[in-house]
Every structure is written in C-alpha cells, then in structure tokens.
Amino acid sequence: MYTIVGNPKNRSLRVMWALEELGQDWALETVAPQTERMLAVNATGKAPVLLVDGAPIPDSVAIVTFLADRHGALTFPAGSLERGRQDAITQFCVDELEGACWTAAKNGFLHPEDKRSDVKATCAWEFELAQKRLETLLGEGPWVMGETFTVADILIAHTLSWGDRMFQWPLTDTLADYKQRAMSRPALGAAMAKGKALLEAAA
C-alpha cells in the first residue's frame, strides 16, 4: 500500500494514474501545498509526495519514474537506448510543455501580487511551440515511445490537459486526439473516481 500526500486536483493525479496502471493499492492523505504537513514531508512544500514504508519521495516525475522502475512496467529498462529516449522526452515535457504552464500559474495566481509579471502571452506562445515539437516526437504514435505506453505519456497528457483546461490554450488536432486517447484509459478513470470518493469522504 502506497500513500499519496496531495490532492487529485493537482499533479498528484499523475501518481494516482500511474499506480492504477500498475495495479497497485494506494491511499490518499489530502494535504494542500505549503501547509505544515506538506512541509514536513517535502521541504519545497509542493505536492505530491509518495510515502513508501513511511519514507517520503517528492516530485511527480520522480515518483512515477520510481514506481515504473520498481514494478517493471510503464517504462523501458534503465541503461537501454529506449530508456534514454524516454527520459529525454520526459525532460522535454518538464522543460518546455509544463514549464509554460507552471510559469503562467505562478505569475497568474500563485506568486504574491507584487511579484507577478504579465507573461501569459509568452507562455501561450511557448506552449504552442512545444506542441509543434511534441508532434515531431510523437510521430506515428500512438504513444511517444511508439506502441508502448509509458510514464512519459502520463506526464505529457496531464500537462496538455492542464494547458487546455486552466488556460484555454488550444491543442493541435493531433495532440487533442493523443490527449483524448491517453485520458480514455481505464486506469485514469479509476484513479479519478477513487480520488473523488476519497475527497468526498474526507469532507
């Protein structure tokens, strides 16, 4: 049993999705970012954190990578050429796709008002540019690593949804189809349903 410290409404959903894909049991400790409890398990105060035998692992990318390696699925073996490509695509997602969303979010509502900058237009352009590059990486698909669904797809699909839902940044037809394909997976539906039930039970 794994315990996720976070909330399904943020990047904790990535971890929930991965655990469902891997067929692993999990519990949720609903905790908001930057609270005393979150700071106790993650010095940055960010969600999510995964508790493994009581030991915390922070950061959604690190967590899903750890889980995939531990359970031997959603990934290629460490040291393989395929894994090198997979990790490069994961890093692309973090740097270029998610970077645009995170910068827009920080300057839109997370930073103190006197520390915010009007960068939404620039972030929208960066997100659009990243999509063009992502289409090249995707190629014939259906996933970024060809026929194999990996943690990179979880991260990318979640980030595309973030840009589309929170900022109303349009997706290309190809990536809209890709996102829909990923987010139609039964494991995500199960993760969302369980997360909703746990939130309602905690209310």
Dump pLDDT digits (tens) for 150-202: 999 999 999 999 999 999 999 999 999 999 999 999 999 999 999 999 989 88
DSSP state string for 41-77? H-TT-PSPEEEETTEEEE-HHHHHHHHHHHHT-SSPP
Query: What average pLDDT does this structure show over 36-44?
Result: 97
Separation between Cα atoms, residue 84 and residue 90, nearest integer Å:
10
Query: What average pLDDT does this structure show over 35-40?
Result: 97
DSSP state string for 120-156? HHHHHHHHHHHHHHHHHHHTT-SBTBBTB--HHHHHH
pLDDT for position 202 = 81
Please answer whether residues 190 and 8 qualify as being in contact, where contact means their C-beta atoms are separated by less than 8 angstroms: no
Region for residue 71 given its phi and psi (left: phi exceeds 0; alpha: psi -120 to 50; beta: otherwise): alpha
- Considering the four listed CATH numbers 3.40.50.720, 3.40.30.10, 3.10.580.10, 3.30.479.30, the one that applies to the domain covering 2-74+187-202 is 3.40.30.10
Residue 97 DSSP label: I
- H/E stretch holding 6: strand 2-6
* Beta bridge partners of residue 117, listed in sequence order: none
* pTM score: 0.96
**Would you state the CATH architecture of domain 81-184?**
Up-down Bundle (1.20)
Q: Which two tokens stand for residue 34?
A: 């930057």
**Phi, psi angles (nearest 5°) of residue 148:** -100, 120
Residue 109 DSSP label: I
pLDDT for position 104 = 97
The position carrying tokens 């589309």 is: 164
**Phi, psi angles (nearest 5°) of residue 48:** -95, 170
* Beta bridge partners of residue 56, listed in sequence order: 51
Query: What average pLDDT does this structure show over 131-138?
Result: 97
Count the Cβ atoms, other than its own, within 10 Å of residue 78.
10
Please answer whether residues 131 and 44 qualify as being in contact, where contact means their C-beta atoms are separated by less than 8 angstroms: no
Q: What is the CA radius of gyration of the chain?
A: 17
Residue 203 has pLDDT above 80, yes or no: no
**Phi, psi angles (nearest 5°) of residue 3:** -120, 125
pLDDT for position 159 = 98
pLDDT for position 38 = 97
**For the chain, domain boundaries:** 2-74+187-202, 81-184
